[in-house]
Amino acid sequence: MLIDCDPGLDDAIALLTAAHHANLVGITTVNGNVGIDHTTHNALAVAQVAQLDIPIHRGAERPLVNAPMDAAHVHGPTGLGSVEIPDLVRTVDSHDAVTFILDMARTVDDLHLVPIGPLTNIALALQADPTLPSRLSGITLMGGAAVGGNVTATAEFNVWADPEAAAIVFRHGGPITMVGLDVTHQVLLGADHRDTMRAAGTATSLLAADLLDYAVEGADKIHGWGGAPIHDASAVVAVTHPELFGGEWHPVEVEIDGALTRGMTVVDSRPDASDEATVKVLRNVDADAVIELIVGAVTSPPGD
C-alpha cells in the first residue's frame, strides 16, 4: 500500500492503522487539510511515532486550478489538533511525490494506491504516465459521496479541494473503489474508544487518543453524533479487509462547473448505466468490525 495523504487528524489515524494492518511501502503528502509544510511535517511525525521506516515524499503545494483551501477549522492550525508534535529525526526523501508514485508502481508488485487527501498528486501522476493504472492492483480513495457533501451541500472536502484533479482521477484512474461519506459517516469513534486507546499507554495509542479528543469534540459541535467519522482510516480498512464493506459499480463523474455542485461526485445509478461503470461506490459497512480493527491497530505496540 502507498498512502497519499494530508494529515489531518483522520489521516494520522489512517497511517497508524495501515502501519499495523497493511504492508505500507511509502507515503506521499499533498496540500489539503492544512498547507503542504504542515501535512508533510505531520506525516513524518506520525511515521516516527509508529516506527515506520519507509520513504516519505512531499507532493503538490497547491491544487491544479483552485487557490489552496484548507480545513484548519476542523483539524486545528497544525493539522493535528492540539497534539504536541515531536521534534523530527528525519526529513523527506524528496519533493517529488509524483516520480516516487510512478517508480513504486513500476517496482512493487500489486501496489495499491490509497489517496486520502485532495487528488492533486494522483492526477499529476496520471498526466505524466497515463499507463499508471495498468501497473496497480487498484486505487481505493477516501473522497466523494453518492448522497450529500460535507463542505457544501453536494461536495465532499477531498474532491471539492481540487475538483479538476478528482475529475482526471475518476475518468482515467482505472477501476476505483470510492470510500465516500456514505460509508465513512457510519464509522464513528467516540469517547469510549478514546479511553481504550489512552489506557493502552503505547506511543501510538496515546497519539491516537489525543487526535481523537480533538476530532470528537469538533464532530460533536458540528453533528452532535457523539462520535467522529475518522474517514481516512476506513479507506485503509477497505483495502485490508474488503469483506467488511459492500457497494456497487457505477459510472461516476466529478462536476467542475456547477455553481452549487462544483466538486460533487455524480453517481449514475440508472440500471442501464452499469456497463460503463468504473467506480465501486461503497455504501455498506460493518462499522463495529472496522472500529475494532482501527482501535486494535493503534493500541498495538509500535513496529508490530
Number of residues that bind ligand BDR (CB under 6 A): 15
10 counts as binding ligand BDR under rule CB under 6 A: yes
8 binds Ca ion (CB under 5 A): yes
Residue with cell 483539524: 75
Quick check: 213 binds ligand BDR (CB under 6 A)? no
Question: What pairs with residue 148 in β-bridges?
Answer: none
Q: How far is the CB of 231 from Ca ion (least distance, A)?
A: 7
Looking at 4, 156, 182, 210, which residue binds ligand BDR (CB under 6 A)?
156
Task: Please give the helix or strand (H or E) that residue 44 lies within, else none.
Answer: helix 36-49
> Which residue number, 3 or 197, has a Cβ lying nearer to ligand BDR?
3
Nearest by Cα to 115 from 161, 69, 147? 161
150 lies in the site for ligand BDR, by CB under 6 A: yes
Residues 6+ apart with CB under 8 A from 20: 296, 297, 298, 300, 304
Smallest distance, ligand BDR to C-beta of residue 79, A = 9
According to CB under 6 A, which one of 34, 121, 157, 168 is a site residue for ligand BDR? 157
DSSP letter (8 states) at residue 91: -
Is 26 a binder of Ca ion (CB under 5 A)?
Answer: no
Regarding 71 and contact with ligand BDR (CB under 6 A), the answer is yes
Interstrand relation of 245-250 and 2-5 (parallel, antiparallel or unpaired): unpaired
Distance in angstroms between the alpha carbons of the first and the last residue of the chain: 17
Taking CB under 6 A as the criterion, the residue among 122, 142, 207, 285 binding ligand BDR is 142
In angstroms, the Cα distances linking 82 to 8, 85, 213, 214, 281 are: 12, 9, 9, 7, 34
Site for Ca ion in 86-145 (CB under 5 A): 116-117
**464509522: which residue's cell?**
187
Contact between 26 and ligand BDR by CB under 6 A: the answer reads: no
- 187 near ligand BDR, judged by CB under 6 A: no
Q: Burial-class residue 223 by CB neighbours within 10 Å (0-12, 13-18, 19+).
A: middle
If one asks whether residue 33 binds ligand BDR (CB under 6 A), the answer comes out as: yes
How far apart CA 277 and CA 2 sit, in angstroms, is: 25
Vertex 20 angle, CA 59 and 226, to 5°:
85
Q: Is residue 263 a contact residue for Ca ion (CB under 5 A)?
A: no
Asked whether position 70 contacts Ca ion by CB under 5 A, the answer is: no
* Interface of this chain with Ca ion, residues 218 to 257, rule: CB under 5 A: 232
Residues with a catalytic annotation lie at 231
Angstrom distance (rounded) from CA 164 to CA 72 = 22
Site size toward Ca ion, by CB under 5 A? 6
Residue numbers at the binding site for ligand BDR (CB under 6 A): 8, 10-11, 33, 71, 74, 116-117, 142, 150, 156-158, 231-232
